[in-house]
Structure 1
Amino acid sequence: MSALPPDATGRAPARRGTHIALPVALAVLALPLVTAAHHARPAPYGDRLTVHARVDGADGALPLGDPALRAKGRAVEAYDKESGSRRWTYTRAGRRPVALLPAPGHAFALWNDGLVTDTARGSVRWHRAVPASADWLRTPDARGGAGVLQPLTPDAGMLAVVTPHRIAAYRTSDGDLRWVLPAGTGCAFAPARSVRRDGALLVAQPCTGPAAAWTAQVVAVDDYGRIVPGRTPLGNGDVRRAPGGSGSPEK
């Protein structure tokens, strides 16, 4: 190939095509690497959710009605109550579900690393870590997570997570932490020893020492916190509930 003729200055002109083609070629070569790096990123919290069943329709909606839940190995499975067919399967890398709580529009799970998740209609809504719970869940005292997940309202608008050190309440629409009630000094909550009475959740709080009054060893809470005389309503962002019927937690 003959050389390009010199310009007026006597210098050969730059090969413009070569200068343009080189950056384009580098960008094309880099694209698969960027794409591979994107796909190689681990999912948050090790999540892997697989949807098995959908109904025919333009919106691809999942079947109506809340599914039943079961823990199978390291997975949470949701399945249709009538047909028994699986709707979705949810796993977390290296983790296993300890306790499950089905509720209207929600599927709550407690995992062995102390994480609480809310899954519904083929998506994971939120994750919340429960402090100082992973080690406790490995002990016989945890009773397999019995009583840790407790709905505080009939529609599951608020969820209580009960552990020996504290009771934490979350607004289930977005996972927002609304209040925390620590256990009393020398006492510890017993999640498995809880009952529900007239809209209140009664949780045993055993205390050490013979002088501990029995009244201090049972705590009553609702969606606004500990139930005590004269408490002042603060609200949980739920405009459906009229003020004056409940109040803020005692710290």
Structure 2
Amino acid sequence: MAALPLDVTGLPHATPAVPPPLAATPAPLAAPTAPGPPPPAAPGSPARRGTRIALPVALALLALPLVTAAHHARPAPFGDRLTVHARGAGQGAAEPVVRTSGRAVRAYDPASGGPRWTYTREGRRPVTSLAAPGHALTLWNDGLVTDTARADGGSVRWHRAVPASADWLRTPAARGGAGVLQPLAPGARMLAVVTPQRIAAYRTADGDLRWVLPARPGCAFAPARAVRRDGALLIAQPCAGPGTSWTSQVVAVDDYGRIVPGRTPLGNGDLRRGADGHGRPEK
């Protein structure tokens, strides 16, 4: 039997089966990242202006303790150490008695005997002191002369270096500074500092140098050999050379300088002094 050809064009085509899609594998979760710095503020913005103001203020606050500590650690001028133990009894109270003791100058109340104040200088020793109304004048072994407020020890008014005196003060000839500090004029308004080389006069109100008298060549002043006569201070000036008259070996001075015939006084007494009797520091 012959086989007939089969026409398959009229038959519906079968859609080939498509396998189902595979299940998608979930992607791994990304690790969280740290937030980055915020974007910089635009120039001129309030945030930028606030930063410019806050930074100097913070630096100033940090530096303030350092500046304060440095100020307190700063040594006192000339090594001064002034300790007030008790204030005076008020205006009109008697001024204390001033004495040198060891490495200190001490002031004692004349009524009770108790200490008023103590003045020391680091590494220095007082040689001698001179008490005058309102002033406690001291010569130190480094050749410095100081003036302390005598009544209450409230301040050291001035310091003056006496040239070429420190070495001499260490010799036996200095005799503990005897006669070196000599008051001149009423009330010791002028102070003469006598050393072998020269006599220098200072105004006690402010330490102003008023005049200097050098010793004659071949001669030297003897501070311990001084006497007072009719308002003048007579100081011995022995000379080494022979044939020197005795009149040349004695010098008379007062607050105006050396007393000689026909001199012109400098007017030290009231020059640049105020109505309250105190000197003015300005030149």
Give the TM-score range, shorter chain. Answer: 0.7 to 0.9
Return the offset for 1:13: 8.8
Aligned partners of 2:221, 2:70: CA distance in 1, in Å?
46
- The letter of the residue matching 1:40 is A
Of residues 83, 96, 108 in structure 1, which corresponds to 2:137? 108
Aligned partners of 2:47, 2:95: CA distance in 1, in Å?
69
Aligned to 1:84: 113
SS at 1:236's partner residue? Answer: coil
SS at 2:199's partner residue? Answer: strand
Return the offset for 1:47: 0.8
Aligned partners of 2:52, 2:113: CA distance in 1, in Å?
63
Return the offset for 1:71: 1.2
Of residues 23, 33, 40 in structure 1, which corresponds to 2:66? 33
Q: Deviation string for 1:97-150 (max 9, x for gaps)? A: 001111111110000000001111321111110000000000000000000000
- The letter of the residue matching 2:78 is Y
Aligned partners of 1:168, 1:130: CA distance in 2, in Å?
8
Unaligned runs of 5+ in 1: 240-251
Of residues 185, 210, 222 in structure 2, which corresponds to 1:153? 185
Seen in structure 2, the aligned counterparts of structure 1 residues 19 and 217 have a Cα distance that, compared at 3 Å, is same
Asked if structure 2 preserves the Cα contact closer than 8 Å seen for 1:46 and 1:92, the reply is: yes
Aligned partners of 1:13, 1:4: CA distance in 2, in Å?
15
Aligned partners of 1:90, 1:32: CA distance in 2, in Å?
30
Of residues 94, 97, 100 in structure 2, which corresponds to 1:65? 94
Matched, 1:133 2:165: yes
Higher strand share: 1
TM-score scaled by length of structure 1: 0.85
Q: CA RMSD in A?
A: 2.4
Unaligned runs of 5+ in 2: 1-34, 272-283
Aligned partners of 1:146, 1:230: CA distance in 2, in Å?
32
Matches within 5 A, 1:216-231: 216-231=248-263
Seen in structure 2, the aligned counterparts of structure 1 residues 163 and 201 have a Cα distance that, compared at 3 Å, is same
Which is greater in Rg?
Answer: 2
Return the offset for 1:64: 2.1
- The letter of the residue matching 2:81 is R
Return the offset for 1:226: 0.7
- Identity, in percent, stands at 79
Aligned partners of 1:4, 1:157: CA distance in 2, in Å?
76
Seen in structure 2, the aligned counterparts of structure 1 residues 26 and 208 have a Cα distance that, compared at 3 Å, is same
Asked if structure 1 preserves the Cα contact closer than 8 Å seen for 2:189 and 2:269, the reply is: no
Aligned to 1:189: 221
Return the offset for 1:43: 0.9
SS at 1:230's partner residue? Answer: coil
Aligned partners of 2:85, 2:204: CA distance in 1, in Å?
25
Seen in structure 2, the aligned counterparts of structure 1 residues 192 and 55 have a Cα distance that, compared at 3 Å, is closer
- The letter of the residue matching 1:204 is A
Aligned to 1:247: none
Seen in structure 2, the aligned counterparts of structure 1 residues 203 and 24 have a Cα distance that, compared at 3 Å, is same
For this pair of structures, how many residues does the alignment match? 233
SS at 1:33's partner residue? Answer: helix
